[in-house]
């Protein structure tokens, strides 16, 4: 029996197939994930004495060249990062229409404070210099981090184009429109006096390494320099800040975010604070759409 070759259809004229084999079922599902995601791995944004620093870059598969950008700093107790720990959450944010740059910083075992904030700013400047290539609006940049990455995001976001800066940085602004801090330490000299499942005194503790592998309480002058709110000023603009912290954080006590929030409020800075009841350090409350919705709502207000 001869068959006729069919000409190509258009999307408007393509027929619905009405066949339904016995035992098959019919469903009508709708897409909920938003945009597809394109991944650009291992973009070298800086070269330091210790080696290359990289960005892992996510772009929504849309036609826009003015997407907002999230610069995300993964926490690691300031040690060597696994930058993919929150990749699932960052993919979800990218599906919502954000470009996302996962930024690697120098670990504290290689470079003490303020190297991590310097690196975050260098990454922002590098990206801003190549905004067209990476398809984002250079005027719509936010920085977000968790744990030590939250501390780094605060330091970089609050200080902007002021100290600290790396001398080899490109001539671009490191300023951001807003900051998201997930359970970042803020007053490292107080951590040993707040409930924690970690030790926060010795040279070998994360905070000790941050200040040059020194005991924290014996070097309070160095610890003082790491306090983000130390760089607030009543007469200097500060990007709006969203703080989110779990009430049962066993690593970075909830009180660390209270210190920051109270300092921001005392200076009349724009800030929001969300306490996640029962949540531990990055778990039980953060890995959900509700947490991302809160961040998304905040970013949409300020980007």
**What residue spans define the domains of the chain?**
37-302
pTM, 2 dp: 0.94
- CB of 115 closer than 8 Å to CB of 42: no
Rg (CA), the chain: 23
Bridge-based pairing of strands 241-246 and 178-182 is parallel
Which one of 3.40.50.1820, 1.10.1740.10, 1.10.10.10, 3.40.50.11540 gives the CATH number of domain 37-302? 3.40.50.1820
Residue tagged 């910083």 (tokens): 105
In this predicted structure, what is the pLDDT of residue 283? 82
CA–CA separation, 264 and 141 (whole Å): 21
CA–CA separation, 71 and 102 (whole Å): 6
CA–CA separation, 57 and 34 (whole Å): 18
Q: How would you classify residue 150: left for phi > 0, otherwise alpha for psi between -120 and 50, otherwise beta?
A: alpha
pLDDT one digit per residue (tens) for the chain, 303 residues: 678 888 899 999 999 999 999 999 999 999 888 999 999 999 999 999 999 999 999 999 999 999 999 999 999 999 999 999 999 999 999 999 999 999 999 999 999 999 999 999 999 999 999 999 999 999 999 999 999 999 999 999 999 999 989 887 878 999 999 999 999 999 999 999 999 999 999 999 999 999 999 999 999 999 999 999 999 999 999 999 999 999 999 999 999 999 999 999 999 999 999 999 999 998 888 999 999 999 999 999 999
In this predicted structure, what is the pLDDT of residue 1? 66
Short-list 46, 40, 67, 37, CA closest to 174: 46
CA–CA separation, 286 and 124 (whole Å): 25
Question: What backbone torsions phi and psi does residue 101 show, to the nearest 5 degrees?
Answer: -115, 115
- CB of 124 closer than 8 Å to CB of 70: no
Total residue count of the chain as it appears in this document: 303
DSSP letters for the chain: ---PPPPPPPTTTPPPP----TT---------S-S-EEEEEEEEEEEETTEEEEEEEEEESSS-S-EEEEEEE--STTSS--TTTTHHHHHHHHHTT-EEEEE----TTTS-TTHHHHHHHHHHHHHHHTHHHHTEEEEEEEEEEETHHHHHHHHHHHHTTSSS--TT--SS----SEEEEES----GGGGGGS--SS--SSTTSHHHHHTTS--STT-HHHHHHT-GGGG--TTS----EEEEEETT-SSS-THHHHHHHHHHHHTT--EEEEEETT-BTTBSSSSSHHHHHHHHHHHHHH-
In this predicted structure, what is the pLDDT of residue 218? 98
In this predicted structure, what is the pLDDT of residue 215? 98
In this predicted structure, what is the pLDDT of residue 171? 87
Residue tagged 């707040």 (tokens): 194
CA–CA separation, 156 and 134 (whole Å): 21
The dihedral through the CA atoms of 193, 197, 265, 74 has a sign that is: positive
In this predicted structure, what is the pLDDT of residue 79? 99
Cα 232 → chain centroid: 21
């Amino acid at each position: 029996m001869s068959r006729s070759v069919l000409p190509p259809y258009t999307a408007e004229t393509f027929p619905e197939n009405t066949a339904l084999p016995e035992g098959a079922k019919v469903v009508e599902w709708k897409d909920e994930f938003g945009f597809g995601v394109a991944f650009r791995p291992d973009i070298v944004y800086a070269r330091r004495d210790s080696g290359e620093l990289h960005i892992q870059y996510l772009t929504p598969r849309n036609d826009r060249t003015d997407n907002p950008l999230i610069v995300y700093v993964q926490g690691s107790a300031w040690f060597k990062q696994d930058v993919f720990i929150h990749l699932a959450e960052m993919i979800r944010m990218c599906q919502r229409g954000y470009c996302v740059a996962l930024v690697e910083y120098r670990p504290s075992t290689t470079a003490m404070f303020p190297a991590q904030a310097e690196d975050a700013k260098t990454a922002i400047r590098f990206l801003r210099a190549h905004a067209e290539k990476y398809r984002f609006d250079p005027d719509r940049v936010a920085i977000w981090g968790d744990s030590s990455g939250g501390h780094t995001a605060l330091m970089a976001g609050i200080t902007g184009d002021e100290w600290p800066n790396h001398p080899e940085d490109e001539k671009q602004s490191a300023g951001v429109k807003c900051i998201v801090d997930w359970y970042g330490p803020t007053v490292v000299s107080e951590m040993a006096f707040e409930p924690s499942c970690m030790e926060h005194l010795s040279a070998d503790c994360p905070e000790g390494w941050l200040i040059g592998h020194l005991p924290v309480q014996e070097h309070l002058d160095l610890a003082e320099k790491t306090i983000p709110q130390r760089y607030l000023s009543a007469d200097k603009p500060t990007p709006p800040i969203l703080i989110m912290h779990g009430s049962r954080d066993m690593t970075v006590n909830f009180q660390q975010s209270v210190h920051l929030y109270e300092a921001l409020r005392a200076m009349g800075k724009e800030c929001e604070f969300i306490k996640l009841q029962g949540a531990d350090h990055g778990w039980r409350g953060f890995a959900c759409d509700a947490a991302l919705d809160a961040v998304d709502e905040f970013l949409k207000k300020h980007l």
